[in-house]
Structure 1
């Protein structure tokens, strides 16, 4: 064994431990960085060829491994634009030039771009959150319509999801008339309403009357009468509803029969057209109709919105960014797409707590939050660093001890070399 091998081996050991200390130092420094993923140091030996009767010491080298796929804990925040992913996936962000990066750090804030007046959602490093525009279908940085007038959108569809209680007794059809007759004195079992908008953003309230007209038993099936009218066309707030030209009478009337054994409609209602006062037609869908032994329930939804400005923004669990107007109307703006990789630990880290794809990480796959294996999106929450300070401090002590031991080997080799040099004296 050459004495030079002692120096070579001990120096490689000190370098390896110095690399490990550098990784530990970075992990500790970023222990409070949201979405930061810790790194670990892996050691591997380098073995030299051995001669007869002589041992040649090898060396050691290190490789840094990122723990990107390891989930950090989730903490609550007070900002609706703070986002966290519970499970698999990354946010897709872009720099000023439009290049895509990927991150788990979801602390986004509104930032106005100087000169253009555009407002984007950006993280602490200035990367812009991207999404698919509901209006154009294009993918790009999310531009918030802050302070801009939102044009009105006419209602074109309505969805009725109704639960009818079995405990209600039907009206006496021999002496009483249901709401679909549209005559003075009509009776009804339940009443609810929904709001629709015309092409200039005018709000009209539709009254929805639900009347049980047949009990089961004694009949084979129970029956409910459904009637829809425009409240503005009522007579002193009630029946009959009448229209004054040029408006047309708003009226939709249908009957649904429920199977006594299943609580489901005997035959689906399908979609029905409803003509509004200005002649525009709304497609009404009866998506869910049940009659169970429980309370009455109605979930009525429509599209369309009035003109106005957006006062705040919110994210849903599936990644839909909506603007909330002062009257409570929600307008879908962007849909976030999460990214995932076959080997996320092979991504390359860049400044700003973002990552870039590599050949080893695999191709990027985009998808919707909460579907097909992608993690769910949490609003007003942040993913914390996955650094464990106790483990890092333990690793630091181990590295310090190992570095000292390797330095002692180097020192001993230097002393032996001094002995060789002094043999001539």
Structure 2
């Protein structure tokens, strides 16, 4: 009966409108929830085809979709491991409680406030641990399979880690006084002390002594450079005779280097190698005739460039993630090393993912198979550190929808009341 179908349609309208009210309520309640994705309610009419006679109301149904692919604004923070995906893609995470259980299912998130917990895991406030590919001893990421999560591991940082790096190369550019090699000079040597770091990150010292050769007349333009090592009880590790050019074109530059002890001088690179207690160190003094090498000019001793590699032992100070997902550990000696890489998970249909608590998602048949991309590569975005993704809720839009939903609910209720009155009139006909 048409009047009965009107009642059923209105009741369906009340039910679906109440469902829409639930989505609006959920959206407004999560307006301050980081990473929250909007719930959207869509109405679908139901048509009963009864031919050309009386019309029968079919009613309405409701479908709700989580708009996971919808982006949201980023909010700046002061924590370097507050992470947000800028663009498409998801951070791979797993539950802290799943670690060590034998099964570690991968979940997906678009943002998270991660901090090192007592065990060194990068854990979010909701108990999720960031996953990544571990780097090898050289800081390189091996080639892991991209269509499986097998290679991913919970990111765990050794908070008590101490790191140092031995010195392997020294650049030593010094100007020696030209007046010191003249026949009437007093022959006083010049001394230079250079710190280096051994294999254990300890500070050691090279002492470089420049002794001028005093001739019977004129100037020798010659110096004997002696290098001693504190780690070898002051033993001589290199001795070289430096002769400087006195001609107009190349005056003051190295003319020749004669090796007395230590590694031979290589004129092609302007360097030689000495063996200290910690191992070989390459020392660069400049090429022959080059203005950028050792010089003998004027009357002042001036070490112009003393640089070296290596670091003393240092303690871990912080962990940071760059836009490409590389996780670096920083130490108080200035060193840093790559320890992990966080990929971004891409799926063909993000809105088809299973929705879980805590703004996390899992793969479903509707989402399609996942692929692990390097951040900022392919179809995925990059990773923003010092940032969290805001809620996708727009309060003004939701309040407007609330007003419309309230009116729709009232209208459906009015139809039910009208149908009830009409049925009452039909009942009164019998009287």
Q: What TM-score, normalized to structure 1?
A: 0.68
| CA–CA distance in structure 1, aligned partners of residues 41 and 273 of structure 2 | 67
Once the two structures are superposed, residues 97-156 of structure 1 have per-residue CA deviations (whole angstroms, 9 ceiling, x without a partner) of: 2221101122222322xxxxx13222222111111222486521111222x243656578
Question: Residue 92 of structure 1 contacts residue 130 of structure 1 at CA under 8 Å; is this kept in 2?
Answer: yes
For residue 117 of structure 2, the aligned residue among 95, 107, 111 is: 111
For residue 156 of structure 2, the aligned residue among 143, 155, 161 is: 143
Q: Structure 1 pair 70/273, CA: closer, same or farther in 2 (3 Å)? A: farther
Aligned to 1:277: 276
SS in 1 for 2:45: strand
SS in 2 for 1:143: coil
Aligned to 2:35: 35
| CA–CA distance in structure 2, aligned partners of residues 120 and 235 of structure 1 | 51
Q: Structure 1 pair 274/416, CA: closer, same or farther in 2 (3 Å)? A: farther
Query: Unpaired runs of 5+ in structure 2?
Result: 99-103, 143-150, 176-187, 211-222, 239-261, 284-304
Aligned to 2:209: 235
Question: Residue 76 of structure 2 contacts residue 386 of structure 2 at CA under 8 Å; is this kept in 1?
Answer: yes
Question: Residue 131 of structure 2 contacts residue 152 of structure 2 at CA under 8 Å; is this kept in 1?
Answer: yes
Question: Residue 165 of structure 2 contacts residue 201 of structure 2 at CA under 8 Å; is this kept in 1?
Answer: yes
Once the two structures are superposed, residues 45-99 of structure 1 have per-residue CA deviations (whole angstroms, 9 ceiling, x without a partner) of: 1111314522111111111122211211111111111112211211111012222
| CA–CA distance in structure 2, aligned partners of residues 105 and 248 of structure 1 | 56
Which deviates more, 272-281 or 15-24?
Answer: 272-281
Question: Aligned residues, how many?
Answer: 336
Shift of 1:12: 1.0
Which deviates more, 309-318 or 349-358?
Answer: 309-318
Shift of 1:27: 0.7
Q: Structure 1 pair 93/283, CA: closer, same or farther in 2 (3 Å)? A: farther
| CA–CA distance in structure 1, aligned partners of residues 378 and 273 of structure 2 | 37
Q: CA RMSD in A?
A: 3.8
Matched, 1:413 2:419: yes
* 1:5-404 pair list within 5 angstroms: 5-95=5-95, 96-97=97-98, 98-112=104-118, 118-135=119-136, 139-146=152-159, 148-150=160-162, 152=164, 198-202=198-202, 232-235=206-209, 240=225, 242-243=227-228, 277-278=276-277, 280=279, 307-404=313-410
| CA–CA distance in structure 1, aligned partners of residues 371 and 272 of structure 2 | 40
Q: What TM-score, normalized to structure 2?
A: 0.67
Q: Structure 1 pair 301/19, CA: closer, same or farther in 2 (3 Å)? A: farther
Question: Residue 325 of structure 2 contacts residue 375 of structure 2 at CA under 8 Å; is this kept in 1?
Answer: yes
Shift of 1:308: 4.3
Query: Unpaired runs of 5+ in structure 1?
Result: 113-117, 161-170, 172-183, 186-192, 205-230, 257-271, 285-297
Q: Structure 1 pair 373/49, CA: closer, same or farther in 2 (3 Å)? A: closer
| CA–CA distance in structure 1, aligned partners of residues 17 and 282 of structure 2 | 70
| CA–CA distance in structure 2, aligned partners of residues 66 and 247 of structure 1 | 74
SS in 1 for 2:209: coil
| CA–CA distance in structure 1, aligned partners of residues 378 and 87 of structure 2 | 12
| CA–CA distance in structure 1, aligned partners of residues 308 and 39 of structure 2 | 48
Q: Structure 1 pair 281/74, CA: closer, same or farther in 2 (3 Å)? A: farther
Question: Residue 247 of structure 1 contacts residue 277 of structure 1 at CA under 8 Å; is this kept in 2?
Answer: no
Once the two structures are superposed, residues 236-258 of structure 1 have per-residue CA deviations (whole angstroms, 9 ceiling, x without a partner) of: 7x9836255678558785659xx
Shift of 1:332: 2.0
SS in 2 for 1:24: helix
Question: Residue 273 of structure 1 contacts residue 281 of structure 1 at CA under 8 Å; is this kept in 2?
Answer: no
